[in-house]
Amino acid sequence: MSTILIRNGRVIDPSQLIDRIDDLWIVDDRILGIGPQPNRHPDTIIDATGQIVAPGLIDIHVHLREPGREEDETIASGTAAALAGGVTSVACMPNTEPAIDSQAAAEFVILQAKRAGNANVFPIGAITKGRLGQELAEFGGLVEGGAVAFTDDGTPVVSAEIMRRALEYSRMFDKPILSHAEDLDLTRGGVMNEGIESLRLGLRGMPAIAEEVMIYRDIALAERTGGRLHILHVSTAGGVDLIRQGKKRGVRVTGEACPHHFTLTDRCLRTFDSNFKMSPPLRTDNDVQAIIEGLKDGTLDALATDHAPHAPEKKSRELEHTPNGILGLETFLPLCVTYLVEPGHLSWSEMIRKMTLVPAGIMSLPRGTLKANAIADVTIIDPTTTYTIDVNQSRSKSRNSPYHGWSVRGRATTVLVGGRVKYQLAGTPPPQSTHLA
């Protein structure tokens, strides 16, 4: 038996409404409890004075690229990047090659994650076979193989009929359908948001309405079927409002926001830098404000990254030919601290809730809490440290971050997965053994 005491940190656990200076005790792979534990003696002590002790962060929108695109990322490299960002669990997207659309494919992901031994990985299954939008995938087999949700992310489900069936069928498994909300006719050929900036730059735009019509459709289908719908990477003011209205009507809909959609705008494209190209695209100041409002009033339930690594040779093509997407895992926490907590939009507890308890709830992951007997995934955060993001230090195989050189605040210093220290930021004092050498 091994007992770890994480001493004197500011323990923030939204699942128990805890935010106080206290000790956290771990025995083997489980949480023992918060506060004094009579007759217990730690084998190891981690001093968390001045730091925040939170449930391990969860990112439910991650592209790990394996199988098939190992030049961009592998399950090992992506989960190493997760740990360096304080993320102990990721749910990974099925737009791999081949797509994760079968029990065997889901099992492969779980096996590779076990081999890597970094963060926990929960695979997400495709809605349609091969993500081709034609025929539903075998949800039962996928669930059997460990899939926690379904999506064709990267592309929308074009057919409303198939989306309706997916929402109906998923009820049998109580798993959410994740919507990549995009009307492909409206976005065809676009490389950025459609608006005054695309006009100035002479670049083909993707209008906000392309996202909004699909969010509208999918909420209507969820309302009709009673299925559970989660809207991925919400980027538009109109989208936030549709989710808000849907929730008011009692539709089972949740939404997520990614850091790039509340820290950047389409003005960034003036540089023609491909690291500002992603799907959905960066929008306007008005949309950024709406996303922040949505996070504040609970319309946007979760924070997630849409970590989308692409190898340098792909991201160095001209804007029109470069793939969509940017890295997210290592910059997730500092961007949320710097742009949500520091300006006072969210409290620490509210932010951590959207990175732990809520995403765990959306995908029914047995994670996201420091309750006694829970799996001991813990992220220790230095809330005041400022540092400069250096993409060349990334554990990802790719380098496509628009945040290189940015000065940010807040960083994970020690990360435990299943009661084991899996990551320590360089310069962090190692855990102290209480036994004589």
Provide the annotated binding site for Zn(2+). Answer: 61, 63, 153, 180, 233, 306
Size of interface with ligand NCD, in residues (CB under 6 A) = 12
Instruction: Select from 60, 115, 72, 120 the least CA-distant residue to 96.
Output: 72
Are 292 and 345 in contact by the 8 Å Cβ rule? The answer is yes
Cβ-based nearer residue to ligand NCD, 182 or 350: 182
Shortest separation between residue 282's beta carbon and ligand NCD, angstroms: 11
Cβ-based nearer residue to ligand NCD, 206 or 219: 206
Instruction: Give catalytic residue positions.
Output: 306
Range in contact with ligand NCD (rule: CB under 6 A) among 158-166, 204-212, 291-299, 317-325: 317-325
Site string for ligand NCD, 147-186 (x = CB under 6 A): ------xx-------------------------x------
- 360-379: contacts with ligand NCD (CB under 6 A): none
CB atoms within 10 A of CB 295: 26
Q: Report the C-alpha gap between 173 and 175 in whole angstroms.
A: 5
In DSSP terms, which residues pair with 68 in a beta bridge? none
* From candidates 245, 324, 347, 385, binder to ligand NCD by CB under 6 A: 324
* From candidates 51, 88, 95, 396, binder to ligand NCD by CB under 6 A: 95
Shortest separation between residue 324's beta carbon and ligand NCD, angstroms: 3
Instruction: Select from 32, 42, 35 the least CA-distant residue to 21.
Output: 35
Q: What letter would DSSP give residue 302?
A: E
Binding region for substrate: 63-65, 95, 310
Q: What letter would DSSP give residue 16?
A: G
Range in contact with ligand NCD (rule: CB under 6 A) among 23-31, 217-225, 323-331, 352-360: 323-331
**Strand pairing of 150-151 and 120-123?**
unpaired
Q: Which residue has 């299943």 as its token pair? A: 418
Token pair in block for residue 221: 């289908």
Shortest separation between residue 272's beta carbon and ligand NCD, angstroms: 17
Cβ-based nearer residue to ligand NCD, 68 or 429: 68
In DSSP terms, which residues pair with 408 in a beta bridge? 387
Q: Report the C-alpha gap between 384 and 271 in whole angstroms.
A: 31
Of the CA atoms within 13 Å of residue 412, those in its CB half-sphere come to: 29
Cβ-based nearer residue to ligand NCD, 171 or 399: 399
- 186 contacts: CB under 8 Å, gap ≥ 6: 206, 207, 209, 210, 213
Cβ-based nearer residue to ligand NCD, 46 or 163: 163
**Strand pairing of 44-47 and 120-123?**
unpaired
Site string for ligand NCD, 218-257 (x = CB under 6 A): ----------------------------------------
DSSP 256-293: EE-THHHH--GGGGGG--GGG--SSPP--HHHHHHHHH
Cβ-based nearer residue to ligand NCD, 99 or 346: 99
Cβ-based nearer residue to ligand NCD, 213 or 278: 278
End-to-end C-alpha distance for the chain, whole angstroms: 18
Is residue 325 a contact point for ligand NCD (CB under 6 A)?
yes
Q: What letter would DSSP give residue 42?
A: -
Shortest separation between residue 233's beta carbon and ligand NCD, angstroms: 6
- 43-72: contacts with ligand NCD (CB under 6 A): 63
Shortest separation between residue 421's beta carbon and ligand NCD, angstroms: 31
Site string for ligand NCD, 98-137 (x = CB under 6 A): ----------------------------------------
* From candidates 208, 308, 351, 380, binder to ligand NCD by CB under 6 A: 308
Q: Report the C-alpha gap between 182 and 206 in whole angstroms.
A: 9
Are 65 and 404 in contact by the 8 Å Cβ rule? The answer is no
Binding region: 61, 63-65, 95, 153, 180, 233, 306, 310
Range in contact with ligand NCD (rule: CB under 6 A) among 320-328, 330-338, 402-410, 415-423: 320-328
Are 256 and 305 in contact by the 8 Å Cβ rule? The answer is no
Are 145 and 226 in contact by the 8 Å Cβ rule? The answer is no
* From candidates 124, 167, 203, 278, binder to ligand NCD by CB under 6 A: 278
Are 394 and 97 in contact by the 8 Å Cβ rule? The answer is no
Token pair in block for residue 356: 């732990």
Binding residues vs ligand NCD (CB under 6 A): 63, 95, 153-154, 180, 278-279, 306, 308, 323-325
